[in-house]
Structure 1
Amino acid sequence: MLKGLMRLAPCAAVLCSLISTAHADEGKRVFTGTLGKTPIVVELNTAQQDEVTGRYFYEKYHRDLPLSGALLDSTLTLVEGNNRYGDDKPLPTLKLEETADGWQGEWQSPQGKKLAVQLSEAKLAAPSSNALPFIAALPASDPYEYLRVQGLKLKPLKKQDFMGYTLQWWTEPDSKISLFSVESGLPKDDLQRVNQQLLGRLWSEVISYHGCQLMGGENVEFMQQAEPKLISPAVVSLNISTSYYCGGAHPDFGDSPLNIDVNTGHPLSLEDVLWVGKGQPLLHAERDSLGDKPLNESESAARSTYQREVLVPWLIKQFTALYPEEMKKPTQEDDCDFTDESIWGYSSWHFTAKGLYLGPYFARVQRSCDAPDWSILPYSVVKQHPGAVKLQLPQN
């Protein structure tokens, strides 16, 4: 997921109309132009001239095509696509010469068809005044993705009543990624804060989808399902389950919950809600928007030590008392061992009506042990160990 996103500050009127694509990552530059007569967006990293990498998409289709090659003097020679899975098929090529503000040259198909290429340094229209903070931050953090999402629109789907709140579901048709916003049941300002996070997460998942497409090539798989878990005046909690294959040896799957503090609109870390260590809890440890300062190296190390040496042993002790049958030491080697401390180190967690759900994470050969339905820490226990944020938790 993208980190440190925030609403852009107002700028001078002349500069607001166009924002230059200052390099979001060292060596990367973004260009717009045409291949033949078709508009394209191109990202190139020429920092290592003998191993130039990049990608581009046709504005009409939005899907990335990988580029790789080398820059010799002022001539850039690129191959479009790859034969990573052992194929030996011929691939299209691009041969480009550097110009004052970009590149020009030609694209050639394996069959010999040639099309002119014209590229100029991208100039980005400033985000609209009502843009989501996530979108408003992309020109600075990822101009290539900003240009992609400008051509994408969300489509409304069904409405859903959930725990007395009205949810409006949305989908981005290209990726088929879906998520909801909260339409009613909360005060207006709370709705705005929460929906900025929810819709920002939807767009973040769309970007992840395209990243998977780029890495996975023809065999890619990216299927996702979002499910609301708890909505209250204090928190909005949901789980996002993803099954994916983005290249590599095996497909995989996993959960990625989002827990939002309604009062601030900030995502909540587990330490915000539950703290069993000594001293003050780590505050806002997983903030990923609105400009909150990330953990530095020593803070990150302290958090890792806390999770490993304090939280996990405490959690196993609690679950053993609450669920003795489920937490019994297995008698066979391939049975699920929920007493293994390593599976609880970075638990996937979310709110439920009954308590905090904390999910273990098993190695690939035992992934069927993931996501047991019983591993819920009751709120009566959680309230005895409050975290950094004062929340009104449900009653058990």
Structure 2
Amino acid sequence: MLKGLCRFTGVVALVCSTFSSALRADNSTQVYTGTLGKTPIVLEVNPDTGDGRYFYQKYRKDLVLSGTKEGEMLVLEEGDETQPHPSMRLQPTPDGWSGEWTSAEGKVLKVELQQAKLAPVPADTLPYLVQLHDKWPYEYLRLLGLKLKQGQTENFMGYTLQWWSEPQSKIQLFEVVSGYSGQARERINQQLMARLWRGVTGYFECANDYTATNYDQLSQPMWMTTSVMSTVISTDSYCGGSLSDQDNEALNFDAKTGNALTLEDVLWVGQGKPLHFERNYYQDDSSQAWSDYRTEEWTPWLLAQLLRLYPNEMTAKPETEDNDCRYNSEDPWSYPGWYFTEKGIKLAPSYMHSAAACRNTGWSVLPYSVVKQHPGGIALQLP
């Protein structure tokens, strides 16, 4: 399972006859590798506007760029307008850009950039990393060279878990090393390791040299049986701006197949065949039918169930006006987080960053006796 990860540890090579063609991150931005002075960097930029970002390979942290065009020249300003900052002036070359970087103090360094070209990935590379290689080369290059460190082994509900961490970011998650069929375990572990690397990417995207930031992430297995599995990843972060953020993301799996489960796979209260819709982390995918179901059928039904099961909690008056969670309104329950527990499905209401504390409900469990009356699209053995 980890061979693909172990191979994802080489030094970034910039020139090789076997490399693929030049890469574009999407339709508007291009990715370049090269040097600032003598230091290797990776830069992603919209050549029409100059907006973009770059990182030093040694540190991997994003440095945001805003730009203008002066004829063919790109003038890139680093950081924000609250303080003096470095800038780049770049002229196009046949395979990239060439120019100068000037610090806020006036120090000048040469910049040489070529369009990024990546070596093909080995056949056993983690699918998530293959996706980055093919579609998001900037993020692939950011992770290239990082290694996971093996941590403790844990027994949880009769299953053996092996923990792994990335030392620089301290992001960690586990693999399942015993229990479940080999195929199901491989699929589960691929998704767990993808989430670990997503956390590493989030750490480096959050960090910058102009604002004091923090990005702390804690992963915890919640429930594991022969039928289903849940783990929760909790993230506390401050990446600039006026507010910090708290987020809990659950990963839920069908333990028989290893496939990820959506709420509609487990519980369906609509008409017709249950929908199956998964949001894509790197794309703003949407489904109108799914959104309509959530707002028109799911939310009114769930609100009625919670008011019946937890009337005091749902209608509790706030201590202060600023802490008015309004659990008895529909908005928090249209797109809740969820995971399996011993007694039922734990639902976490969704709130904006400013009301993140309202997400922490210890009581909002939908009992399996209710869930089983409204089976979802996949047959599951629930308690």
With the shorter chain as reference, the TM-score category is 0.7 to 0.9
Question: Quick one: which amino acid aligns to residue 374 of structure 1?
Answer: W
- Counterpart in 1 of 2:332? 343
Asked if residue 193 in structure 1 is aligned to residue 225 in structure 2, the reply is: no
Asked if residue 245 in structure 1 is aligned to residue 242 in structure 2, the reply is: no
**After superposition, what is the alpha-carbon deviation per residue over 1:250-288, rounded to whole angstroms, capped at 9, x for unaligned?**
112121111122344332111111001111110x21164
Q: For structure 1, which runs of at least 5 residues remain unmatched after alignment?
A: 1-14
Matches within 5 A, 1:297-312: 300-312=287-299
Partners of 1:232 and 1:217 lie apart in 2 by 46
**After superposition, what is the alpha-carbon deviation per residue over 1:146-167, rounded to whole angstroms, capped at 9, x for unaligned?**
1111121111222211111111
Asked if residue 65 in structure 1 is aligned to residue 59 in structure 2, the reply is: no
1:323 is displaced (CA, Å) by 2.7
Partners of 1:331 and 1:226 lie apart in 2 by 30
Partners of 2:320 and 2:88 lie apart in 1 by 55
Answer yes or no: is the 8 Å Cα contact 1:95–1:107 preserved in 2: yes
Answer yes or no: is the 8 Å Cα contact 2:77–2:86 preserved in 1: yes
207, 215, 220: which one aligns with 2:213? 220
Moved more, 125-134 or 309-318: 309-318
Matches within 5 A, 1:36-51: 36-48=37-49
1:138 is displaced (CA, Å) by 0.9
Answer yes or no: is the 8 Å Cα contact 2:303–2:328 preserved in 1: yes
Question: Quick one: which amino acid aligns to residue 18 of structure 1?
Answer: F
Question: Quick one: which amino acid aligns to residue 381 of structure 2?
Answer: Q
- Counterpart in 1 of 2:313? 326
Q: Work out the number of aligned pairs and report it.
A: 365
Paired residue secondary structure (1:257): strand
1:389 is displaced (CA, Å) by 1.5
TM-score norm. by structure 2 comes to 0.88
Question: Quick one: which amino acid aligns to residue 231 of structure 1?
Answer: M
- Counterpart in 2 of 1:118? 112
1:354 is displaced (CA, Å) by 1.6
Answer yes or no: is the 8 Å Cα contact 2:133–2:140 preserved in 1: yes
**After superposition, what is the alpha-carbon deviation per residue over 1:127-148, rounded to whole angstroms, capped at 9, x for unaligned?**
1221110001112221001111
1:218 is displaced (CA, Å) by 1.6
Closer, same or farther in 2 for the Cα pair 1:304/1:260, shift >3 Å? same
**After superposition, what is the alpha-carbon deviation per residue over 1:23-79, rounded to whole angstroms, capped at 9, x for unaligned?**
23122111111122221111111233xxx1121112122112222222322322222
Closer, same or farther in 2 for the Cα pair 1:363/1:61, shift >3 Å? closer
Asked if residue 210 in structure 1 is aligned to residue 204 in structure 2, the reply is: yes
Answer yes or no: is the 8 Å Cα contact 1:139–1:146 preserved in 2: yes
Closer, same or farther in 2 for the Cα pair 1:22/1:367, shift >3 Å? closer
Closer, same or farther in 2 for the Cα pair 1:321/1:125, shift >3 Å? same
Closer, same or farther in 2 for the Cα pair 1:221/1:125, shift >3 Å? same
Question: Quick one: which amino acid aligns to residue 34 of structure 1?
Answer: T
Partners of 1:177 and 1:42 lie apart in 2 by 24
Partners of 2:155 and 2:23 lie apart in 1 by 44
Closer, same or farther in 2 for the Cα pair 1:296/1:117, shift >3 Å? closer
1:387 is displaced (CA, Å) by 0.8
**After superposition, what is the alpha-carbon deviation per residue over 1:193-245, rounded to whole angstroms, capped at 9, x for unaligned?**
1100000111112222222225x942222221111111222322111111122
Answer yes or no: is the 8 Å Cα contact 2:180–2:256 preserved in 1: no
310, 316, 332: which one aligns with 2:303? 316
1:191 is displaced (CA, Å) by 1.4
Matches within 5 A, 1:273-292: 273-282=266-275, 284-286=276-278, 288=280
1:246 is displaced (CA, Å) by 2.1
Percent of aligned positions that are identical = 47
- Counterpart in 1 of 2:74? 76
- Counterpart in 1 of 2:229? 236
Closer, same or farther in 2 for the Cα pair 1:217/1:276, shift >3 Å? farther
1:356 is displaced (CA, Å) by 0.5
1:81 is displaced (CA, Å) by 2.3
Partners of 1:111 and 1:296 lie apart in 2 by 44
Answer yes or no: is the 8 Å Cα contact 1:269–1:287 preserved in 2: no
- Counterpart in 1 of 2:3? none
Paired residue secondary structure (1:256): strand
Partners of 2:187 and 2:249 lie apart in 1 by 20
Paired residue secondary structure (1:104): strand
- Counterpart in 1 of 2:341? 352
Closer, same or farther in 2 for the Cα pair 1:383/1:285, shift >3 Å? same
Answer yes or no: is the 8 Å Cα contact 1:243–1:254 preserved in 2: yes
Question: Quick one: which amino acid aligns to residue 328 of structure 2?
Answer: T
Partners of 2:17 and 2:151 lie apart in 1 by 34
Partners of 1:333 and 1:60 lie apart in 2 by 47
- Counterpart in 2 of 1:383? 372
Paired residue secondary structure (1:326): helix
- Counterpart in 2 of 1:25? 26
Answer yes or no: is the 8 Å Cα contact 2:100–2:110 preserved in 1: yes
- Counterpart in 1 of 2:255? 262
Answer yes or no: is the 8 Å Cα contact 1:156–1:170 preserved in 2: yes
Partners of 1:152 and 1:392 lie apart in 2 by 39
TM-score norm. by structure 1 comes to 0.85
Question: Quick one: which amino acid aligns to residue 75 of structure 2?
Answer: T
